[in-house]
């Protein structure tokens, strides 16, 4: 008599909402929120196919395609679940994004002025550009809106719901007993992405490449490389390098990114998880 084959677990991802949880499966998405009246609303649908399968063996490209598919889901969620409140759907957070953009411009301009002064007092030739210190400061400043969003309202708690719900599914446990930090959280992309972005922007400016197009290329490149580093870490979880890379992400989650959710918030997470498992099962 052969032993039963263990059920293969779906690879799930998610995004915390201000009033609920969005979960991604291989082919579908599902969301659950608690509306202003206290009722839990659930919706789901098929994910847009932007070519993730075709790009699966193309390092760099596959990460960008997956990120694009995740972003493309958001308007579908808002259409099917209008009660959902997105992470950046807040006046304070939007103001912080504007302030961070202005602050980044000011830091870069000050860096260029300093480089110009140095060039004028020496025999240096070439277009002055902000140095690594300025670019690192700009990269760190770009985190401020996301951190502000997490610190306001229930977003950090629903981020905890996301991690605990998915961990409980993966480990066949109870969400209430799972830890609120998770090894597949997007916070682990922060360190490699900011590092590559800072280095890339310095290199681009020293090569005479400036403007929104150059910044967009550096941004996409840093995201692509960060996703590849993230994926490498998943394949080598016991590596000392992986543990080092994950340390900043775990600290972000522990200190500011997540909060222990209430039983009512865990109920919303359970509704989202049950819905994604239902639609993924029906789709196959």
Most confident of 47-51, 120-124, 147-151, 165-169: 165-169
| Residues β-bridged to residue 22 | 15, 31
Domain count, the chain: 1
Least confident of 35-44, 69-78, 223-232: 223-232
Backbone angles phi, psi at 203, to 5 degrees: -65, -40
pLDDT tens for each residue of 63-119: 888 888 888 999 999 999 999 998 876 545 444 445 444 444 555 555 445 544 444
In terms of Cα–Cα distance, which of 178, 150, 149 is closest to 273?
A: 178
85 domain-assigned: no
User: Quick check: 245 pLDDT over 50?
Assistant: yes
CA dihedral sign, ordered 183, 71, 25, 38: positive
15 domain-assigned: no
- What is the pLDDT averaged over residues 198-217? 78
CB 258 within 8 A of CB 179: no
6 domain-assigned: no
Q: With 0.85 as the threshold, say if the pTM is over it.
A: no
Report the distance separating Cα 215 and Cα 221, nearest Å.
10
199 domain-assigned: yes
Structural domain harbouring 226: 91-151+181-257
Q: Strand, helix or coil at 199?
A: helix
- What is the pLDDT averaged over residues 233-257? 86
194 domain-assigned: yes
131 domain-assigned: yes
215 domain-assigned: yes
- What is the pLDDT averaged over residues 19-26? 94
Report the distance separating Cα 241 and Cα 83, nearest Å.
42
146 domain-assigned: yes
CB 158 within 8 A of CB 16: yes
Using 50, 70 and 90 to split pLDDT, how confident is the model at 141?
Answer: low
CB-side exposure of 15: number of CA atoms within 13 Å?
18
């Amino acid at each position: 008599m052969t032993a039963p084959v263990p059920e293969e677990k779906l690879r799930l991802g998610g995004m915390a909402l201000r009033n609920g949880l969005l979960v991604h499966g291989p082919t579908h998405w599902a969301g659950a929120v608690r509306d202003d009246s206290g009722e839990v609303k659930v919706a789901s649908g098929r994910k847009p196919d932007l070519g993730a399968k075709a790009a699966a063996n193309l390092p760099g490209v596959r990460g960008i395609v997956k990120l694009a598919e995740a972003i493309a889901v958001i308007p579908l969620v808002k259409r099917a679940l209008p009660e959902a409140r997105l992470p950046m759907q807040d006046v304070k957070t939007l103001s912080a994004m504007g302030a961070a953009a202005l602050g980044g411009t000011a830091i870069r301009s000050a860096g260029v002025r300093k480089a110009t002064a140095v060039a004028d007092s020496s025999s240096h030739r070439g277009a002055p550009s902000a140095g690594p210190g300025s670019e690192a400061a700009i990269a760190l400043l770009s985190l401020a809106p996301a951190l502000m969003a997490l610190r306001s309202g229930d977003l950090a708690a629903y981020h905890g719901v996301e991690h605990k719900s998915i961990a409980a599914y993966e480990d066949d446990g109870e969400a209430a007993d799972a830890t609120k930090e998770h090894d597949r959280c997007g916070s682990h992309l922060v360190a490699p992405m900011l590092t590559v972005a800072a280095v890339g922007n310095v290199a681009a400016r020293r090569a005479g490449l400036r403007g929104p197009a150059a910044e967009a290329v550096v941004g996409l490149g840093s995201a692509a490389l960060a996703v590849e580093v993230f994926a490498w870490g998943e394949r080598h979880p016991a590596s000392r390098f992986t543990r080092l890379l994950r340390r900043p992400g775990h600290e972000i989650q522990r200190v500011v990114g997540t909060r222990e959710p209430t039983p009512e918030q865990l109920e919303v997470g359970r509704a989202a998880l049950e819905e994604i498992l239902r639609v993924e099962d029906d789709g196959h």
